Structure 1
Amino acid sequence: MISAEGTKMPLTRDDPRLHEDMVQSLQRELDGLKVEGLYRSLRLVDGPQGPRIHIDGKEAIHFAGSDYLGLACHPRLTQAACQATMRYGCGAAAARLISGNHDLYPQVEERLARFKQAEAALLFSTGYQANLGVISALMGFQDVVFSDALNHASIVDGCRLSRAKVMIFPHNDLAALEDLLREETSAGRRLIVVDGLYSMDGDVAPLREIVELAKRYGCVTMVDDSHGIGVLGETGRGTAEAAGVLGRIDIETGSLAKALGGFGAYVVGNRTVIEYLINRARPFIFTCALPPAVLATVLEALTIVEQEPERRQQLWDNTRHMRVGLREIGFEVSPRGTQIIPLMVGGSERVMRLSQELLDCGVFAQGIRYPSVPRGTERIRLTVTASHSKADLDAALTALAEAGRALQLI
């Protein structure tokens, strides 16, 4: 703006051009994302989750979700949600520290604590909030966090918010972790934090060795087991059970929206830690309580996990079938591993082209790009579930073979 004297005047807050400048700046950034092949848009899902899904008006075999045990639409969970809604209503209408702490909460938390062989549990609204709340509440500027390079974004952001010193070690590199533990001796609280089952790579953390290192160097251990709960271990108690260290992880977080088919997240650990989080974790304190229907589905899902081990067995049968089939058609995939199977492609445009070609063939498998994974490691991430039929798996393998050859991946 130019004054009557010809001098430039600063924009005021109510000047519409201030808003126009911001919108134009944002649009330039969006245009840049499109050029880089990093632009994201929302797909429309019509109907329930399952082995097949209606997405953008087309039915496709679903290999992009996390409903590993097929519980998201299980009739027992649906019935539990309906009954809870009829009794308690649709929403809690308050934070738990006000009037939102209805009687389903202690039932779920006590059940989760027993399931994970921990002293106590605390529910959060999302896995992101759980990691953000735990790390930012427990760690401060005088403390140090030892964090795996491939940890989930919520762990990364929790570390940043805590203002603690963060020392990142290469993925699952125990020797590098021990070097950092030996090097850093001046910190107050010391925390080693890892994912249990890594959501983009499908591999697991060496928890037994990490627990031993933590004991040797005076550290607290924290594991995000969002993709392991209900799936790994003889009884589905997760990565710690599979590694033989159930009950020896100091703090565990995890999502209830994946294998358990519902929503929300948990933290389990020492009773004093849980009490401290109630008083200091801002994402817990300042968030409305979960709807009662959500908690009722968690209780029912945990019961099914304990009563129906055949669901996990079917998941592993399907996973082996898919991994062996992928190797036979030429993809570099281990015949053994978890239900998360990455197919490395490289290049944002190339991976999204493969994703679209698969969808055109009736298979929905999401292309994963930066910042979800490092540049140059773009991939298709396949997620196998217990509810996939052998026909679903074989149809997907046929589509992957055709699309893979077309893009010269195999």
Structure 2
Amino acid sequence: MFFPQFAWRLRILHLEPSETDHQRMCDVLGLDLPSLAIERIDTLAHFRQRLVDEPCDVVVSAFHCNGFNAMDAWEVLLGAPGTQPAFIVLSRSASEAEAVDAVRRGASDFVRKSALPELARVIVRALDVNRIRTAKEDSQAELVGSVQRSSELNEYLQKCIEAERQSIAREVHDDIGGSLAALKFDLAWIGRHATEPGVLDHVNAATEMLKHAIGASQRIVQDLRPPVLDQGIVAAVDWLAGSFERRTGVKTAFTTTHEVIHAPEDVQLVAYRTAQEALTNIAKHAACSEVRIDLSDGENVLTLEITDNGRGLTRAELEKPKTFGLKGLGERARTVDGWLDISNDGGVGTSIILSVPLAPVEGRMKTERLQT
């Protein structure tokens, strides 16, 4: 009699039109009447109210009640607040098909009244299963919440990073760039007025170093926040493609459906960073001879595809813990409600595809008219 030892800690609601059958169930469970552990309910309205007033651990329902059946009670239970209790159907006359349907629709178990002595064991089993299910649901909810919080944190960090990039780019361009330009003028003045060959040699050497520093500062500004983005995403990706080809010698073809593609600034920035990171990975790992970049906005979706004919990425490489670059691209895409696909063509070459939904063209035109 393991069940009665802890039955006082349970709260059982018994949906049963017959007082006699209720008494029989209490006797089987070892519960005296009246008991705080169990309560008989004979109307659906009363059942609905009791679920609101006080939580319970187990619901045992006769299949046929006055004006409703166990499945009607189950639907009420599904809509009730709080943790869902175990739900057991106890019946004398329900058919085999009705019993199967009850379990299929979510009931914890089905017991014939002729097998009433088994009810205690069924309740214990149902409580265990229900506890495991509840723990699983709680874990899943926590996981979903954790993923959501991680996504929100990543979006916040990406915005902070971009803001910091812009701030540093302005500092490099305005302060350092201005100082280097002034220094270049001073060196040019010294070069024009110096007469000693040794001084001229130092001036020329310093001028060459200065040119290198100016070029480096310009590259840093381009990487941090390229001014070409102000001309739109098409011009920016075109510039990236040309720069990549000049730097690496890899033949790079860029195609686009329109000379100008309208997209929100944050979407354009995500597309630019995706192309930038993809080309960086290609330069480091692909060992390819050709790269193709396609940019389009068909069906109100901005699509950027970067494809190379290199060695391709294996599944193991894509799933490596430290592939932060590619994983970061996926996170970036999600910040603008987009998604990223990475595929291999038979193990040769890699395609990185960014897709971001855009507002309908008519809506974009209205927004542009309002802004102008």
Both structures adopt the same fold (TM-score exceeding 0.5): no
Q: TM-score range by the shorter chain?
A: under 0.3
TM-score, normalised by the number of residues in structure 2: 0.22
Q: Which has the higher contact order (CA 8 A, sep 6+)?
A: 1
Which is greater in Rg? 2
